[in-house]
Structure 1
Amino acid sequence: MRTLGKLLVMVFAVCMAGQVQAQQINFNRNLDNFRYPDKRGVNVFEAPKDTLSTFDGVDVRVGGSFALQYQAIENENAGLAGYELKEAGSNFNLATANMDLDVALYDGVRMHLRTYLSSRHHNEPYVKGGYFQVDKLDFIKEGFLEDLMQYTTIRIGHMENNYGDAHFRRSDNAQALHNPFVGNLIMDAFTTEVGAEVYYRRNGFIGMVGFTNGKLNQDVEEDETGKTGGASFLAKLGYDKQLNDDLRVRLTGSLYNTGYVSHSYLYSADRAGARYYDLMQALESEGDDFRATRYDPSLMNNITAVMINPFVKYGGLEFFGTVEMAKGKASFETDERTAMQYAGELIYRFGADEDIYVGGRYNLVDAEDISGEDVTIDRFQIAAGWFMTRNILLKAEYVVQNYNDFGATSILNEGKFDGAMVEAVISF
């Protein structure tokens, strides 16, 4: 893996050198049907669909993201013997880095690949995922099904699945520029599975259906049932329209459903880990529980999840909401359990180009835990941010998170953490 890391760094350096040389001739890093990783991608959800073509041969766009936080957060619990927490002080976290390759391969055909060069859980570079996107079928025959393809997009890959809208605003390792806050949601719906998604967008209406193999870690090994995996079905239906110069409205409903899978990672797939470091971890535990401060309802072998997301932006004021229900069970359970999540964030952006913002978010999870307890977790965040340029964001957050109704044998019994974080993000 060290050799792989050195190789990736060398490739990155060579590509960047070539990019700089090319930019001396023509500084153009624009791609068709592309969500930009800089400020232009804020409040963009699915990559835009535009039949206007600028393709003029294979074009490689090398990009990256870097993020660094200073954390000053304290945590506590009931402090019962054997369930004490590690002490958390104030200092910098590990800096994180991404490398992106986005390649225009043909007119209407694009590839994306994201590699985590540095992340909380892994000390070596590794591929997060990627996809092959088709917006035209001219590689079959010029004008082939053009009346259909002007509204249709096809994605195939081992990729971040499009369940819900919250994943478009979350921090993805070092890519934190689109997230107005530092932390993601408590139940952080994010997974990468092998599959395909087909989109149809017309006059503001959005429709998507997708299928995956339901696996985060790919292999052909059979489990105890004699299966190598299962299948997941995804769907999204919504409306997104700029009604006038000031008002934009979006409302979507999403579905993620499995029959049987060997292990569902919908709420635990992010190997980059939670943004709040070294909190709510047992004193005697070894290593870093990188998912701590998030909540996974452990619906491991059967899950149906539904997420509804309203988004309204009027001038500089915007609201984004999440209402989510996840229902299912592990294979050893007889009855299904349900977890509910609610979140609402209000952001006000101002300045000459909305370069400054302030906002708040409230997030609540109410779940039937795998331990048999009915538990709740609530979090309140206030944040402020400044886009120094369209590629540089400085943001600060104050956060309070409370754990309620966890039993005496849980490390989260009467748990709480609160404090501040400052994060600097570069993305290009």
Structure 2
Amino acid sequence: MKTFNALIRYMLAGMLILTTSASWSQQTKIQNLRPYDHTGLNMFETPKNDSIPWDGFKFRLGVSTSFQFQNLSHENTMNTDSTTGWPLVDANKDNVDDRKLILITNGFNLAQANLNLDFQVYDGVHVNLVTYLSSRHHQEAWVKGGYVQFDKLTFLNSNGINNLMKYFTIKFGDYEVNYGDQHYRRSDGGNAMYNPFVENLVMDQFTTEIGGELQFKYNNFIIVGAMTGGEIKGDITWNQKMDAVDSTTQDPGLPGYSDAVPINKRAPSIIGKIAYDKQFNDDLRFRLSGSVYTTNSSASNTLFGGDRTGSRYFGVLENTTYSTTGTAFSGRFNPGFSDQVTSFMINPFVKFKGLELFGTAEFANGRQVTEIDKRNASQYAIDVIYRFPANEHFWIAGRYNTVTAQPLLKDPNGVTWKDDNGDIPNVTVNRWAVSAGWYLLDQVMLKAEYVNQEYKDFPNYDIRKDGKFNGFMLEACLGF
């Protein structure tokens, strides 16, 4: 009871602060900008039909912040039998089994905040810069990225180009890659206003890369093509790791490579998307998109591990060496495709009045530079949300999310985990969650979630063997 009363006091105090901060919401209007508040819900690529007039240079400062109260518990199976399990797994030689879970209790997680800077530098030209001021993975200020977006090129004084730009959008910079539609709904550091749940998907497909993107929008169709450097940051050094495939040489007609030659060259990432998005009437909207992301070679690709902020579920299924920053992605699964990766995603979205359905079907394969064979990973998720009343400031929601993948795991003796046929086995991670929430204002949100996640078919020496966590989460958010 004492803990509950303290929780209520903290939450009320936090909501008072957030409500006071919402006075910032009367902001300068920027063209072709997705709002950081409730009005940005269910917006994907920014629309071309922007009604904001150009009347000179504009600057907009915004903030997104969130904090959570966590009440989760976790468990696993630690088989120390010398015949059927492993007596001791102790990679760091501290005489504590690496499979032993850290003790967790209820409490507040680290508050997260983003600084959002937007500039209208010319008619149809928008510059964006987002900085993570505080996050689980980077508790110091850390620039997420920035880009310039052209929806008009009137400064070229060409009627032909002006007519073309009625259908095209050009973006380049160091920005969030536009692979799939799920990234438009996820929590991103302090920005959690678009996500009806507390956490993102189990296999979180998000990264920022340096490159450019071209969007074509016509008659409810959207076509996106992009090319990036394939990594989360720029680098001109030649990676010295030998590529297991190239150094083996698959074509017998080609000479083998000397071990002294560094051959893990970088290749660009190619991203494509085709979508159909139509508002049939005031009640019904339908969108269907298909996306692809592929790179042939990379020193460190992070499509499934590019989040610089970390997960919302602190400490779950982590061992006694846990730290907030060092093990920042608790509850997620990264297949580890750091060299080659190709991934496809299909996202249907249907909204009928207050009822929303959003789905994800994803199929990926890839490998690390030391691997010869590619591994597979697949993910399915379905969100069902009902928003009410007419202004849709309240909601209830449910999500089911499952991942099946071939992980690259090694036992304590350094032997890669394989089955009797020499293949890497599949593991499965299942999650279901239910949530309810309230937008007190367009800029202020409170949500509650119950989550249950289970890990299946992991080997005895892995901490996730028969792993499970569940419990309640509360989150308060501000965005403007």
TM-score, normalization: structure 1?
0.92
Give the drift of 1:329. 1.1
Residue 331 of structure 1 and its aligned partner are, at CA, apart by 1.9
For 2:115, the aligned partner's letter is M
- More divergent stretch after superposition (142-151 vs 102-111): 142-151
- Correspondence for 2:30: 31
- Tell me how far 1:227 sits from its aligned partner: 6.0
Query: Cα offset for 1:226?
Result: 5.2
Using the alignment, how far apart are the partners of 1:268 and 1:332 within structure 2?
Answer: 18
CA-CA distance at 1:98 after TM superposition: 0.5
2:302 is aligned, of 256, 262, 265, to 265
CA contact (8 A) 1:116 1:127 kept: yes
Match of 2:111 among 90, 95, 99: 95
| Matched letter for residue 260 of structure 1 | S
Instruction: Note if contact 1:221-1:228 (Cα within 8 Å) is conserved in structure 2.
Output: no
Answering whether residue 187 of structure 2 is matched by residue 171 of structure 1, we say: yes
Distance 1:221 1:280 in 2: 36
Query: Which deviates more from structure 2 when the two are superposed, residues 285-294 or residues 389-398?
Result: 285-294
Residue 184, structure 1, aligned to residue 200, structure 2: yes
The one of 340, 347, 356 equivalent to 1:302 is 340
Question: Map of 1:150-229 to 2, 5 A cutoff?
Answer: 150-224=166-240, 225=262, 229=266
1:42 maps to what in 2? 41
2:39 counterpart SS class: helix
* Number of equivalent positions: 405
CA positional deviation for 1:217: 2.5
- Look up the SS of the partner of 1:145 in the other structure: helix
Q: Is the 8 A contact 2:27 2:60 kept in 1?
A: no
1:64-83 matched pairs, under 5 angstroms: 64-80=63-79, 82=97, 83=99
Question: Are 2:453 and 1:406 aligned?
Answer: no
AA matched with 2:28: R
Cα distance per residue 1:155-180 (max 9 Å; x no partner): 00000000000000000001000000
Q: Which residue in the other structure is 1:425 paired with?
A: 477
- In the other structure, the counterpart of 2:316 is 279
Query: Equivalents in 2 of 1:330, 1:226: separation in Å?
Result: 14
> Which has the higher relative contact order, 1 or 2, with Cα contacts under 8 A spaced 6 or more apart?
2
Larger radius of gyration: 2
Counterpart CA distance in 2 for 1:219 and 1:244 is 49
1:136–1:150 CA contact under 8 A, matched in 2: yes
For 1:40, the aligned partner's letter is T
Structure 2 equivalent of residue 112 of structure 1? 128
The structure-2 alpha-carbon separation of the partners of 1:230 and 1:418, relative to structure 1 and needing over 3 Å to count, comes to same
Q: Is the counterpart of residue 361 in structure 1 residue 377 in structure 2?
A: no
**What is the alpha-carbon distance in structure 2 between the residues aligned to residue 37 and residue 378 of structure 1?**
30
Aligned: 1:236 with 2:273: yes
Q: Which residue matches 1:63?
A: 62
> What is residue 11 of structure 1 aligned with on the other side?
none
**Is 1:79–1:85's contact at 8 Å kept on the other side of the alignment?**
no
Q: Read off the aligned partner of 1:137 and give its amino acid letter.
A: L
Aligned counterpart for 1:381 among listed residues 417, 433, 441: 433
- Give the CA deviation at 1:147: 1.6
**1:312-354 CA distances to partner (integer Å, 9 max, x unpaired)?**
0000000000000011111221211110000001000011301
Partner Cα distance (1:53, 1:355) in 2: 25
Distance 2:50 2:36 in 1: 21
The percent identity for this pair of structures is 43
Deviation (angstroms), 1:373: 2.8
Listed as ranges, the gaps of 5+ residues in structure 2 are 1-22, 81-96, 241-261, 410-423
The residue aligned with 1:139 is 155
Distance 2:149 2:66 in 1: 28
**Alignment partners' CA distance in 2, 1:176 and 1:304:** 28
Match of 1:249 in 2: 286
Report the TM-score when normalising by structure 2.
0.82
Distance 1:148 1:245 in 2: 29
Cα distance in 2 for partners of 1:389, 1:143 equals 43
Q: What letter is aligned with 2:266?
A: G
Distance (Å, rounded) in 2 between the aligned partners of 1:282 and 1:186: 19
Q: Which amino acid aligns with 2:379?
A: Q
Partners of 2:286 and 2:350 within 8 A in 1 = yes
Residue matched to 1:318: 356
Q: Contact 1:108 / 1:137 at 8 angstroms: preserved in 2?
A: yes
Q: Which moved more, 1:193-202 or 1:274-283?
A: 274-283
Structure 1 residues 85, 48: closer, same or farther in 2, change over 3 A? same
Q: CA RMSD in A?
A: 1.6
1:113-159 superposed Cα distances (whole Å, 9 cap, x missing partner): 00001111112101001110001111222545122100100000000
Q: In the alignment, what sits opposite 2:420?
A: none
What residue number does 1:351 align with?
389
Give the aligned residue type for 1:55. W
Deviation string 1:81-120 (CA, Å, 9 cap, x unpaired) is: 5211111100001111100001000001010000001111
CA distance in 2 between counterparts of 1:408 and 1:107 reads 60
1:167 partner SS? helix
Deviates more, 1:318-327 or 1:348-357: 348-357
Match of 2:6?
A: none
- For the 8 Å contact 1:215–1:261, the answer to whether it is kept is yes
